[in-house]
Amino acid sequence: MSARSLSVIVKPDALMRYQTGPLMFQKMAPPALLATLSRADPVRVAFIGNHLPRQCGIATFTTDLCDAFTAAYGAAGLVVAAVNDPQSSYSYPARVQFEITQNDLSSYKAAADFLNSSNIDIVCLEHEYGIFGGKAGGHILRLLQHLKTPLVTTLHTVLREPDVDQLMVMQEIAARSDRLIVMSEHSSRFLQNVFRVPHDKIDLIPHGIPDMPFVDAASHKDSSTEGKTVLLTFGLLSPNKGFESVIRALPRILSRHKKVVYVIAGATHPHVRRREGDRYRIELQALAESLGVNEHVVFVNRFVSPQEMASLVGSADIYITPYRYEAQAVSGTLAYAMGKGKAIISTPYWYATEVLADGRGALVPFDDSAAIADTATELMDNESALQAMRKRAYLYARHMIWDQVAQSYMQSFVRAGAGHRQPVREAFPLTITALNVNGRLMSA
């Protein structure tokens, strides 16, 4: 396959009917498919999701994926339909050619009309329940019901115990998608066991990361951190992230190692700030003050640029993800820290248990400050163990480099085009089974 062409081979068999769950599909005529996907000009791919400068993890992911795809296959054939949150507008780059208003159902139909009329070959939906309007983000279904293009959906959240609305929305998305991309084995298993998605419809593609060199933390430290051991957590602040556990661990760490600083890098999550302002950050600052460690806690209170992120993560001797709940499908910040070759301490949420296995990181119980302190101290006391952990994490993460991820996405797009099935009706009578609605699986 050339760098800017997408070709597939389809047997010239007769039209066939398929049934996937409760939905009926009809296979596209092979000549029409080949006419769409075998030409030599750049493949036209449309991504649906959030996009920078909107501040959230999905926006960062979509932007990075588009950048990687552009680097690998050129910019001429790539467009984005970006979702705007309520009462917000953004100055998007040129690739964003359509804007969806989150809670305006009519804008989803308009987006489908735009994509259908734009000579698009493949649509890639970046799905997270919370970024779309309606119950369980159900407004996105209006777009998918009118879309005439092969669809690949990246699932940033896969629930182990969905409620009824979440189950219905995901079942329809899964049925309307030609391929489903997940970033962890946990998510793949949940799709199969909970949502009854066939294994052969799922592509496991890791969360992408930049291609970064393996260097010592000292090379990134500035005058404020030179000569100190830097503990770091970065990402948008929200109470489920567990920063307070690390702050509570500091007195115990400082009793053994005096020159330690804990850096918390990132702005308050926009949705949290809209509800309660910077209350959580203020509470963390008050906690540090009460414990007498405020001089050892540094807040970088902004949405950091990629260059600043590389420097901040590079300066860390130990990276910590102290998240409070098991149900987390993926963490882009953890993936990034592994790509930088950091020694990592983490609570055992699903994604962490998967990627930090085999000595690539140290797992500690949830909300256990003593365990964080003891593990950090052990790593600081044992330089050879810390360096060995760094190397294992870095080598493991090499398959997560964005250019490789972009190629994997293209392979998924080829499979989607080859197997594209058009729904022959729009009614979706779904069979709901007994549910436990207590669980949630969130994306970082």
The model's pLDDT over 394-415, given as tens digits with 9 standing for 90+, comes to: 999 999 999 999 999 999 999 9
Q: Does 31 have pLDDT greater than 70?
A: no
For residues 290-298, average pLDDT? 97
Q: Are 98 and 126 in contact (CB under 8 A)?
A: no
Confidence of residue 17 (pLDDT cuts 50, 70, 90): very low
Distances (CA, A) of 15 to 32, 82, 169, 244, 416: 12, 35, 28, 59, 17
Confidence of residue 112 (pLDDT cuts 50, 70, 90): very high
Confidence of residue 443 (pLDDT cuts 50, 70, 90): very low
Confidence of residue 333 (pLDDT cuts 50, 70, 90): very high
- SS3 sequence, 14-26? CCCEEEECCEEEE
- Percentage of residues in the chain having pLDDT higher than 70: 85
Domains of the chain listed by start with CATH number: 17-208+401-443 (3.40.50.2000), 217-400 (3.40.50.2000)
For residues 18-31, average pLDDT? 38
Distances (CA, A) of 200 to 24, 27, 203, 221, 416: 18, 17, 8, 47, 12
Q: Does 436 have pLDDT greater than 90?
A: no
- Percentage of residues in the chain having pLDDT higher than 90: 75
Q: pTM for this one?
A: 0.85
Query: Rounded CA gap, 99 and 80, in Å?
Result: 8
Q: Are 377 and 432 in contact (CB under 8 A)?
A: no
Q: What is the DSSP letter of 161?
A: S
Q: Does 267 have pLDDT greater than 90?
A: no
Encoded tokens for 344: 């990592």
Encoded tokens for 133: 């309007």
What residue type is assigned to position 141 of the chain? L
pLDDT for residue 423: 52
pLDDT for residue 307: 86
Distances (CA, A) of 279 to 269, 287, 290, 322: 12, 12, 16, 19
Q: Are 49 and 58 in contact (CB under 8 A)?
A: yes
Shortest CA distance to 333 belongs to which of 246, 208, 200, 437? 208
Would you say the C-alpha torsion 10, 11, 15, 18 has a positive or negative sign?
negative
Name which of 25-29, 110-114, 201-205, 421-425 the model is least confident about.
25-29
For residues 265-293, average pLDDT? 91
pLDDT for residue 94: 97
Q: Does 24 have pLDDT greater than 60?
A: no
Q: Does 37 have pLDDT greater than 70?
A: no
For residues 35-56, average pLDDT? 77
Name which of 85-99, 107-121, 145-159, 419-433 the model is least confident about.
419-433
Largest CA distance in the chain: 75
Q: Does 429 have pLDDT greater than 70?
A: no
Encoded tokens for 375: 């593990």
pLDDT for residue 76: 87
Distances (CA, A) of 37 to 82, 178, 313: 24, 15, 41
Name which of 37-51, 341-355, 371-385 the model is least confident about.
37-51
pLDDT for residue 245: 98
pLDDT per residue over 49-87, tens digit each? Answer: 999 999 889 999 999 999 999 999 998 889 999 999 988
For residues 437-442, average pLDDT? 38
| Mean of pLDDT over the chain | 87
Encoded tokens for 21: 């769950």
Q: Does 145 have pLDDT greater than 60?
A: yes
